[in-house]
Amino acid sequence: MNAQDKSEGIEFLPMSLNEAKTFAASTQKLIFIDCYTTWCGPCKWMSANIFTNDTVAQFYNRNFLCLKMDMEKGEGKSIARKYKVKAYPTLLFLDQDGNIQERFVGASRTTMDYIDLGLLAMNPFENLRGHQISYESGAKSNEFLASYLEKLSNAGMATETVLDSLYGSWTDSDFTDSSNFKLYSKYDQSIDSKAFKYVLSNYKWYKSNFGDKADTYLQTRILWNHNLAVRRKDKAQLTAINEIMKMLPETKKGEMQWLMEDSELRRVEDPKPYIKHAIKGAKDYSWDNAELLNSMAWYIYKNSKNEDDLNAGLEMSNRSIVLSESPAFLDTKSSLLFELGRKDEAISNQQKAVELAKKNKDDVKSYQETLEFFKNKK
């Protein structure tokens, strides 16, 4: 067996980036960098479950010079600044001159995705760098720009410039085209873009033709930008959002106001105002939002011992499972049941969470540990 085909995980080389660049020049290999932090959960999962996989390890050891760097220590800090790494994990593929050939943010649970990503990185026509070169050379077809947007999104890079190029050639019929609506729904989070302003100004048409998707489009962008403005204390952006709120249909204003208060109250140290807010508005404003219901139920579990609060959280949890059963949602329900003293029900429900996680090929460790805790707790 070739040394590069040993199944002991990816061999991360103990060298600096400059040393790797020199080595890359002589081997004609790309440099792969796992950009991580010590507190990043997905980074830890990927290291334990993907980088130790025989197939992945053999492929990466054979085709790349592999480095693993903490973005908050040593050389990692300068790499984070140079390549604008702000989300973790970020996977970088660089050439011998340090140019990005491919970049991906996140930790896929599918092993073959990492093989596909590596193959893509080595394809100069289809990788991120190839798309950048084509764009700079004048490629502007809708098909190409859609492909480039996907690249940029996966890489955690800004899409505004490419979107502006796309919108610049569009007429009304392009904005209302269903495939284009899907495209800017996926890649455009701005409330200042031509697409957002067009949808807002023509809400009745979008609601009539796209139904709840029109509401979701406006809602997610308003909330995302509101949360960002609150964190940054951006008064100008908050004023702009208030003006947008005035343009919403009356039937949507109450819901949007409640959702914005939801994000603000979560930042308050005292959990009581948020719990009161969640219980009061759940059925009116989030009864069909499984993720939000589960999030509120979990918050109540973590922050209240009051029986009425816990029962309200359990009702939210049950509703989230009806909408979308998942191991995480079942885990929330189990925790609430256990806190309410319903141990046997908690154990039975947590066993469902473990089995569903196994079926989905998810990481079962945390669910199994919770199950054992329930069983052993006197």
Task: Supply the residues annotated as catalytic.
Answer: 40, 43
Cis amide linkage into residue 249, ω under 30° from 0: no
DSSP symbols for 132-201? HHHHHTT---HHHHHHHHHHHHHTT---HHHHHHHHHT--HHHHH-HHHHHHHHHH---SSSHHHHHHHH
- Burial of residue 38 (number of CB atoms within 10 Å: 0-12, 13-18, 19+): exposed
Task: Name the β-bridge partners of 59.
Answer: none
**What is the phi/psi pair of residue 217, to 5°?**
-60, -50
For residue 53, the SS3 value is coil
Q: Which residue has the tokens 């508005």?
A: 281
In the chain, the DSSP E strands lie at 30-36, 64-70, 90-94, 100-105
Nearest to 364 by CA among 110, 45, 89, 51: 45
Report the distance separating Cα 341 and Cα 346, nearest Å.
Answer: 9
Per-residue CA distances from 177 to 163, 173, 206 (Å): 16, 6, 10
Q: Tokens in use for 78?
A: 């300068």
In 48-117, the DSSP E strands lie at 64-70, 90-94, 100-105
Contact 226, 241 (CB under 8 A): yes
Max CA pair span of the chain: 69
For residue 57, the SS3 value is helix
Q: Tokens in use for 57?
A: 């390890």
Report the distance separating Cα 27 and Cα 63, nearest Å.
Answer: 10
Report the distance separating Cα 337 and Cα 350, nearest Å.
Answer: 10
For residue 228, the SS3 value is helix
